[in-house]
Structure 1
Amino acid sequence: MNTIRWLVDKHLDNQKSYPQLAEAAQFLQQNEVVAFPTETVYGLGGNACSSDAVAKIFAAKGRPADNPLIVHIASYPQLDGIVADISDKSKQLMNAFWPGPLTIIFQKKEGAVSDLVTAGLDSVAVRMPDHPVALELIKESGLPIAAPSANRSGKPSPTTANHVMEDLDGRIAGVVDGGQTGVGVESTVIDCRGEHPIILRPGGITKEAIEAIIDKVEMSTSVVDKEEKPQAPGMKYTHYAPSAPLYLVEGTPEWIQSIVNEKTKSGMRVGVMAASETVGEYDAHTVLDCGSRSDLASVAHHLYDVLRKFDETDVDVIFSEVFPEEGVGVAIMNRLDKAAGHKWLRQINHS
């Protein structure tokens, strides 16, 4: 398959963008799959009402079929056609954060979307992306668009069209290249159907921001039994992983460097992912800066790009510093923990 690359202006200021978007929308209407930018990461979109289209998403990614997809919409009438009920708390969150990186779990309207989208669950995850290219593409297609991240399953999510092509060239119909994405980590997923709203996946909208709107919310442990169907993406499988084994290391730079030295002496090529404040303190085969500890949004923005850059090197192992689990740091550490397969090294007596 020849994967088309449509170059568009990120802000749609250039009228030349519209023919490319119209062509991409036609592919979606023909139940082909097309990657496109959102404010979080690039998504791999297909007609949420077509099982043929959704099956192509799973096939292109190599994604397990019991992992549900998020449906992307561009208008509230589209939501009414998908969901059976909208709770008051869901309405409050929609008013506060849509369009934006917040996915809400609703009771689905029977037969409205393919069962492959919801992995056979009675719920459906929906969000309205805050990106002009994504919104225009969805409007142009006239369809609700099911879209996980546009990468091979398990790999770091893509924040540029180049990342998409690295993983999916020849496997999808096309990619709408709208430049680099913004937030960098995926949307927050929240279930408001019960009495107590619960965040199933931390993301671009923080727990603190949500609680400022609807008071107390709970945070899922994100642990799903291997026989159980996850209620939302990112709850069950190892995600976001670079090719080399990744370890999270919690300790002083001196202690981390001692581990690097030990591995280097054994003949291994070591990579280190560090904050801007400490990146200069490491001597290793490859040391990459992933953003400032005092600006965790910068870490979220660079996280996947840095993980992918390690794949361009010949490192045998990667050690990553850890970050405060506050604000968007919760999402950062959620992704890093999954990328590392929950492998941690901690300095004894380190406070």
Structure 2
Amino acid sequence: MSVVDAAVRALREGGLIHLPTETVYGLGASASDPEAVIKVFEAKGRPRFNPLIVHVGGMALAERIGIFDDRARALAAAFWPGSLTLVVPVRDTGLVCDLARAGLDSVALRMPDHKMALDILRGLGAGVVAPSANRSGRPSPTTQRDAFEETGAFVQASPDGGDCQVGVESTVVSLLGDVRYLRAGAVTRAQIEAVVGALAQDEAEGHRSPGRMALHYAPDAPVKINVENPSVGAAYLAFGPVEHDGLVIQLSATRDLHEAAANLFKALREADRFTPPVIEIAPIPEDGVGEAINDRIRRAAGFVG
């Protein structure tokens, strides 16, 4: 039996899997099965009011699950498969259980840009919830090894789809009324606006997005951000050349924001394994995907979001 077939079988039997994607590794379960979804929350220790993203293998299924208007279709055409999640009104509540939607009348949908993920999703022919495969509040896994280290005890299949190429969770955009940018990711505000025009402020719909907890993506060591001169003994996540006698982990030696995004969670994990007294992170520009990186590191440091 292939690893894809094993993953599909596990999902059909109500089990959990690791779902490799281009963003992070997800902890996958059938979106229609509340007992399987409960297992996801239990494995992660995740608050049950936080809605889960439903991953789909094609537009036909997406439109069976949710109601797509012209704006939603335009965004899907521009960015799917890819790291963009669309929050739309739910059409068929039987395809995504109430627990997965946190009781909301909306659903968050994404088609990942990852061959193995799409093979699994299309093999199942149904939606799969797949929040990041870490324990709640921990850095998200971007390799199969890290996913297994976090939640391997809970899964029936853990296919290795290689290292994640994007490295931060998907951008989340709401299409409930005005278009709102709920969570920063690799698809930037400017890219969204190029398709649908100016965006509304996001505060009104923030509860509909995953990953909006204040303390999130946190390693065990305390985190300080925007540190230009690292302190003695600190593990330092650098962005560009730096002089530091302690542990230095480069997010990007060439100050490439996409490389930094792909390396972020891996770097946090690596730093944490050395049990430093503090993890300090270099300033990151807010341009483009830098907004998503700063969003994640602010949450890791415990700032509101």
Q: Which residue of 1 aligns with 2:244?
A: 282
Q: CA deviation at 1:219?
A: 5.0
**What is the distance in 1 between the residues matched to 2:108 and 2:159?**
23
Q: Does residue 204 of the first structure (1) align with residue 186 of the second (2)?
A: yes
Q: Which residue of 1 aligns with 2:271?
A: 310
Q: Structure 1, residues 304-323: CA drift from partner, whole Å, max 9, x if none?
A: 00000012102011111121
> Of residues 55, 58, 64 in structure 2, which corresponds to 1:72?
55
Q: TM-score, normalised by structure 2?
A: 0.95
Task: Call closer, same or farther: CA 1:333–1:293 in 2, change over 3 Å.
Answer: farther
Q: Which residue of 1 aligns with 2:124?
A: 141
- Note the 1:107-118 alignment, pairs <5 A: 107-112=89-94, 113-118=96-101
Q: CA deviation at 1:293?
A: 6.0
Q: Secondary structure at the match of 1:116?
A: coil
Q: What is the one-letter code of the residue matched to 2:293?
A: I
Task: Call closer, same or farther: CA 1:219–1:39 in 2, change over 3 Å.
Answer: farther
Q: CA deviation at 1:110?
A: 4.6
**What is the distance in 2 between the residues matched to 1:307 and 1:294?**
17
Q: CA deviation at 1:170?
A: 1.4
Query: CA-atom RMSD, angstroms?
Result: 1.7
Query: Which of structures 1 and 2 has the bigger CA Rg?
Result: 1
**What is the distance in 2 between the residues matched to 1:330 and 1:293?**
18
**What is the distance in 2 between the residues matched to 1:237 and 1:223?**
16
Q: CA deviation at 1:197?
A: 0.7
Q: Does residue 172 of the first structure (1) align with residue 142 of the second (2)?
A: no
1:22 and 1:137 in contact (8 A); partners too: yes
Q: CA deviation at 1:24?
A: 1.2
Of all paired residues, the percent bearing the same amino acid is: 40
1:72 and 1:127 in contact (8 A); partners too: yes
1:188 and 1:205 in contact (8 A); partners too: yes
Q: Does residue 338 of the first structure (1) align with residue 302 of the second (2)?
A: no
Q: What is the one-letter code of the residue matched to 2:298?
A: D
- Note the 1:201-350 alignment, pairs <5 A: 201-218=183-200, 220=202, 230-250=207-227, 253=228, 256-257=229-230, 260=231, 264=232, 269-275=233-239, 277-279=240-242, 281-284=243-246, 286-292=247-253, 294-342=255-303
Structure 1 alignment gaps of length 5 or more:
1-17, 225-229, 344-351
Q: TM-score, normalised by structure 1?
A: 0.83
**What is the distance in 2 between the residues matched to 1:147 and 1:157?**
12
Would you say how many aligned residue pairs link Structure 1 and Structure 2?
303
**What is the distance in 2 between the residues matched to 1:313 and 1:151?**
19
Q: Does residue 120 of the first structure (1) align with residue 107 of the second (2)?
A: no
Q: Secondary structure at the match of 2:71?
A: helix
Q: Which residue of 2 aligns with 1:92?
A: 74
Q: Secondary structure at the match of 1:151?
A: coil
**What is the distance in 1 between the residues matched to 2:173 and 2:7?**
30
